[in-house]
Amino acid sequence: MRVLSNKEFIVVSEKDRTQILAFLQNEVKLNKDWVGVESKSVLEISSELKCFKMPSHLKPRPFENSAADGNRYKEALRLIYENLIIIKFMNTQNLEFLQSNLKYFGFGDKLNEALEKSISEQQKEFQLKLEIPHFNNKMDYTLHFKRSDSTDMYFFNRYDASLQNGNPDHNKNQSFYINKGNGVTAKEAYNLLEGRSVFRNLINRKGNPYSAWLKIDFENKDDKGNHKLNQFSEQYGYDLEKTLSNFPIKEMGSEEQKLMLLSSLKKGNVQQVTMEKDGNQLKYFIEAVPQYKNINVYDPKMNMVKRQNVQTENSVGRQAVAQKTDAKKEQKPDAEDGTPKQKTRRKKKLSV
């Protein structure tokens, strides 16, 4: 292990020597080849040492740690010290970027301390775990971080999400990948595992951006054991705003409330709305169903409601014509009209 210090000689007291030696031996096992020493003449405790692995892209001059050639040794220390400052700056920038990323993806700041500790240890890759409650369920997340071989910067590559609903046989698991800062948020992962659809801006393999609705296919898995994600792009023809206009939704009359409603539904939430029926204003819950170019409607107790019972009269007629001329399975039938009954469907609660 090579030493970085602004002192040519470091004195270690006899009583501290064994403890410090054991500390350094353990650091060597972690492939750390440099140790930085505080600018004190006498080393008293191992906490004053900072061990690290020199990044591969930083190539200091290969001087030995010997005071035999004082000038060359001092020059080596100067170069390594400058590199250490660069490393510290890079780690700080990297940490702040990752912390911002975690907040953006809905993981908050609870992992900040553990993230900082893992980066300081310079592990090649590491995982952090987090549990987030959702009503009567909970979500377990395992976040994966990996260090780049070329830049030694850490990247948040993917996370594993597990929906725990109290019955281990019914738990649902899925891995979500982060591509150039684009990906599914923690809350959206929950909504997807609940069986709903989420609208996302994505990046294809060629690096081109596009938008699509996502829905997990729980019946099929890919070669990595992950559930397949069905995608319904803009070319598929689902217009959420146009679909909502077929219903007497009060919130659609306000531009601000309409935008909030559309945003919430695109995140996969079940959203409460007010509909006017027979002169009365009634509360319902709705969710987007892009696969069938429609929405699902629920009463306050989360029982399925036949859409034609709450749609405007003109829209019922238009949809009847569309069903005759459209493709075979474009429109999702209501539960009362032949939709396979869900197995002891657990009542949903409002997600906002």
Name the residue ranges covered by the structural domains of the chain. 2-92, 107-236, 240-337
Tokens of 50: 């900072």
Using a pLDDT cut of 70, give the percent of the chain over it.
64
Q: Which residue has the higher pLDDT, 102 or 11?
A: 102
| Contact call for residues 331 and 323 (beta carbons, < 8 A) | yes
What pLDDT does 6 receive? 47
Per-residue confidence (pLDDT) for residue 336, from 0 to 100:
37
> In terms of DSSP bridges, do strands 172-177 and 198-203 run parallel, antiparallel, or are they unpaired?
unpaired
Q: Are 229 and 216 in contact (CB under 8 A)?
A: yes
Q: Name the least confident of 16-25, 225-234, 297-306, 308-317.
A: 16-25
Q: What residue type is assigned to position 89 of the chain?
A: F
Q: What pLDDT is recorded for position 344?
A: 45
Cα 158–Cα 160–Cα 162 angle in degrees, nearest 5: 155
Say if pTM beats, i.e. exceeds, 0.75.
no
User: Is the pLDDT score of 183 beyond 80?
Assistant: yes
Distance CA 68, CA 70 (A): 6
Task: Look at residue 49 and tell me whether its pLDDT is greater than 90.
Answer: no
Which neighbouring-strand residues pair with 127?
144
The confidence score (pLDDT) of residue 337 equals 39
| pLDDT tops 70 at residue 135 | yes
The residue that leads in pLDDT, 9 or 83, is 83
Q: Once rounded to an integer, what is the mean pLDDT over residues 104-118?
A: 95
Mean pLDDT computed over every residue of the chain: 79
**What's the pLDDT score for residue 206?**
85
Q: What is the phi-psi region of residue 121: left when phi exceeds 0, alpha when psi lies from -120 to 50, beta otherwise?
A: alpha
Summarize pLDDT for 140-163 with one digit per residue, the tens: 999 999 998 877 789 999 999 999
